Amino acid sequence: MIVVMSVGATEQEAKDVRDLIASAGLTPHDNYGTQRVVIAVLGDVGPQRDHLMSKLNLMPGVDSVTPISRPFKLTSRESHPEDTIVELHGTRIGNGTLTIMAGPCSIEGRAMMIETAQAVANGGATILRGGAFKPRTSPYAFQGLGIEGLEYLHDAGKATGLPTITEVMEPSQVEVVAKHSDILQVGTRNMQNYSLLTAVGKAGKPVMLKRGFGATIEEWLMAAEYIVSSGQPNVILCERGIRTFETYTRNTLDLTAVPLLHHLTHLPVVVDPSHATGKRWLVRPMAMAAVAAGADGIMVEVHPKPDEAKSDGEQSLTFAQFEDMASALKKIHEEVKTLNKDPFAMAGPVRVDGVSKH
Ligand code: PEP
Ligand code: MN
C-alpha cells in the first residue's frame, strides 16, 4: 500500500507514519520524484492489512492510503503516477525527448573508442556506450579490456561531453564501473542475478536493466524492484529481444513491451534493436518502430569497421548508417511524441491480460 501525506504535513507526522509501519513489522520507503511525501509500505502485509490501513488513515497529516495491486510496488505506476526522469549532467532520459545511446559493442582500444565517440556524438547520440566487461557465450571469445576499457570509455565521454553507459557483470565490479561510468548496465544474462541487482542499487548511479531473454514483463519489473528497493530510484528498462522459436533473427523484438511498460511502470523504456535482431540491416527499421511505439530512447551498436569488430560486427552500424538512422528517428519522434501520450488512460481500469492477478 502507499500512504500519501497531505500537502502541509510536517516531518514529525511523516515520521509517526514510518514508525507505525515499522512497528507492524513492515518497511516504510519514501517515494522520490513526487510533489508530496509518499510513503510506500513494503513487505508482506498479510491479514493485518485492513486494520493497518484504517489506523494509517486516521493519523494526522495523512491524506490517503491506497493498496497497490501489483507485486512490483515501487516500480508500479500505481505507487508513482508521474514518469521517472533520469537526470545526468546535461541530459535527461524519460522527459519526452529522444535518448540515443550508441557506441561499440566492445571497447577495443583508446583510439577506436575516441573515434567512435566523436562520430556518434556528431551523428546525434546523447549517451555513449561501450562494453569493457563482456558476457560472451564462448570462453574463447574476446572478453573485453576490463578496467583499461573503462578508462577509455571515461576519456571518450569527457572528450565528447556525452554521459556514458557500460555493463557490470558481477558485484565485485560494481565499484570500479560506478567510478568510471555515468550509468550502470545490467545485461540480459544477469537480469535475475539478485546479488548484482542489490549491489548496483546501492552504487549511487542510475542503472539500465536489460530484459532477460527468457523473462516475462512481470519478472523484469520484479528485478527492477530489487534495484529500486536497494536505494536507486533511477532505473531505465531496455527491451532487447526475447528467445523464441525464430532463428533467422538473433532474438525476437517484443515491441509490445513499450506501451505495456508505460502502462505498468513510471520508469523510462529504451529499445535495443542491435541485440534484438543481430543483423545490421534490420536495426534501422526496428529502431524506427520502437520510436513510433513510444520508446524513450534506443541503444545501438556502432563500429568504425564493423567487419573487423571483435564482437557483434554483423549487427553494428557504420558511422554513416548511424547518422542516417538517427536523423530518421528524430523525424519520427517529432511526429509521434504527442500521439503516444497516455497509454495508461487508454487502457483505463481494465487489467492487462497476462500480468499479475495479485
Ligand atoms: C550489450 O549491450 O553489450 C549486451 C551484451 O547486451 P545484452 O545483455 O542485451 O545481450
Ligand atoms: Mn553486443
Q: What is the whole-number distance in angstroms between the Cα of residue 357 and the centre of ligand 1?
A: 31
Query: Is the Cβ–Cβ distance between 38 and 44 less than 8 Å?
Result: no
User: What mean pLDDT do residues 138-167 have?
Assistant: 98
Whose Cα sits closest to atom 4 in ligand 1? 187
154 lines ligand 1 (CB under 6 A): no
Query: What average pLDDT does range 164-190 have in this prediction?
Result: 98
CA distance 43 to 30: 14
- Residue 351: pLDDT above 80? no
pLDDT for position 212? 98
Q: Which atom of ligand 1 is nearest to the CA of 135?
A: 5
Q: Is the CB of 188 under 6 A from ligand 1?
A: yes
- Counting atoms of ligand 1 from 1, which one is nearest the CA of 299? 2
Q: What is the pLDDT of residue 357?
A: 34
* Nearest-angstrom CA–CA distance, 310 and 13: 58
Distance 150 CA to ligand 1 centre (A): 16
Question: Closest ligand 1 atom, CA of 185?
Answer: 2
Q: Identify the pLDDT of residue 32.
A: 65
Residue 154, pLDDT above cutoff 50: yes
Tens of pLDDT, residue by residue over 32-57, are 656 788 999 999 888 999 999 999 99
Ligand 1 atom at shortest distance from the alpha carbon of 131:
3
* Mean pLDDT, range 299-309, rounded to an integer: 98
Residue 103's φ and ψ, nearest 5 degrees, are 155, 180
Cβ pair 130, 153 in contact under 8 A: yes
89 has a pLDDT exceeding 90: no
pLDDT (tens digit per residue) in 262-278 = 999 999 999 999 999 99
| pTM listed for this prediction | 0.93
Q: What is the DSSP letter of 202?
A: T
Q: Provide CB contacts within 8 A for 109, sequence distance 6+.
A: 145, 152
Q: Is the pLDDT of residue 184 over 90?
A: yes
Q: DSSP assignment of 234-254, as one string?
A: -EEEEE--B--S--SSSSB--
| Locus of grid cell 493485518 | 48
Nearest to 100 by CA among 279, 248, 260, 317: 317
Q: Could you tell me the domains of the chain?
A: 2-66 (3.30.70.1140), 86-340 (3.20.20.70)
How do residues 311-340 score in pLDDT, each as one tens digit? 999 999 999 999 999 999 999 999 998 887
Is ligand 1 within 6 A of the CB of residue 141?
no
pLDDT at 349 over 70: no
Q: What is the mean pLDDT of the segment spanning 194-223?
A: 98
Choose which residue among 127, 237, 275 to substitute to test ligand 1 binding: the one with the highest number of ligand atoms within 8 A of its C-beta.
275
